[in-house]
Amino acid sequence: MRAEAASHQDPRRAAQQEVRAVRDKIAELDEAGLELMLTRARSHYAWTDRPVTEDQLRRIYDITRLGATSMNSSPARFIFVRTPEGKKKLEPALKPKNVPKVLSAPVTVIIAHDLRFWERLDYLFPHEDRKPMFRGKEAYTRDTAYRNATLQGAYMMMAARAIGLDCGPISGFDNKVVDETILAGTTLESNFLLNIGYADETAVFPKLPRLPFEEACSFL
């Protein structure tokens, strides 16, 4: 009771206790968890007609939003395209081979970043005023937004897999077309697309090779 009372009085101590509690409960994923998330996970581009619900999308976002970003800036914005009308708006931006992948997916998410994300730092990073770091600094703002929204897009992929869905990221499209049509009149810029649904595994091909540690990694 004393520890619980102290944690209510000291938010930082409560956060530390929360971290310890998670580590006590699960120290690492087992092999099956790793396979689901990464080692045997696949990017999918063919889909069954099984629907994805709004509740599932809300759950995916609730997981995604807790991933780390610089200064908790959270610049990503997610547009869930679920209707035939929405897909038709996306179609002109797609490379021809990606049209059926998007049109057949239950949900296509436009992963975008908000160039005015820093205006919300008073809420997201309340203990220190970081707005002057971005005000009037277009290049730094865009770089921060793009980098951290890309991270958040990857978090969304992990979140979708974690709740039993499949996903397929797509960069083969014209960002300018999306920005000038679907995102016109906003402060958003598109990054990449993410199809989410239940995959049709009959379209899967053997996993492509990855670089070995010795080629991709080094020590300093």
Tens of pLDDT, residues 82-110: 999 999 999 999 999 999 999 999 999 99
User: Do 87 and 4 share a structural domain?
Assistant: no
Q: Is residue 36 part of a domain?
A: no
User: Do 6 and 80 share a structural domain?
Assistant: no
Domain count for the chain, please give it.
Answer: 2
User: Where does the pLDDT of residue 204 fall: very low under 50, low under 70, confident under 90, or very high at 90 and above?
Assistant: very high
User: Do 72 and 93 share a structural domain?
Assistant: yes
User: Do 163 and 139 share a structural domain?
Assistant: yes
Interatomic CA distance for residues 38 and 167, integer angstroms: 12
Question: What single letter denotes the amino acid at residue 33?
Answer: G
- Give per-residue pLDDT as tens, 1-19: 445 555 466 889 999 999 9
Which pLDDT belongs to residue 1? 47
User: Do 128 and 173 share a structural domain?
Assistant: yes
Q: What is the pTM (predicted TM-score) of this model? A: 0.92
Q: Is residue 12 part of a domain?
A: yes
Interatomic CA distance for residues 161 and 39, integer angstroms: 12
User: Do 196 and 151 share a structural domain?
Assistant: yes
Which residue, 50, 109, 114, 111, is CA-closest to 80? 109
Contacts of 9 (CB under 8 A, 6+ apart): none
User: Do 123 and 23 share a structural domain?
Assistant: no
User: Do 106 and 16 share a structural domain?
Assistant: no
- Supply the range of the domain harboring residue 9: 1-29
User: Do 71 and 23 share a structural domain?
Assistant: no
Residue carrying structure tokens 């277009």: 138
Task: Residue count of the chain, please give it.
Answer: 220
Which pLDDT belongs to residue 4? 54
**CA distances (Å), origin 158, targets 61, 78, 132, 167, 187:** 11, 15, 33, 9, 26
User: Do 184 and 85 share a structural domain?
Assistant: yes
- Give per-residue pLDDT as tens, 125-183: 999 999 999 999 999 999 999 999 999 999 999 999 999 999 999 999 999 999 999 99
Q: Determine contact, residues 109/156, Cβ cutoff 8 Å.
A: yes
Structure tokens at 161: 């897999």
Helix orientation angle between 54-64 and 138-162, rounded to the nearest 10 degrees: 120
Structure tokens at 41: 């996970």
The arithmetic mean of pLDDT across residues 47-61, rounded, is 98
User: Do 118 and 93 share a structural domain?
Assistant: yes
Q: Is residue 154 part of a domain?
A: yes
The CATH number of residue 59's host domain is: 3.40.109.10
DSSP for residue 208: P
- 65 SS3 class: coil
Which pLDDT belongs to residue 27? 92
Q: Work out the mean pLDDT of the chain and round it to a whole number.
A: 95
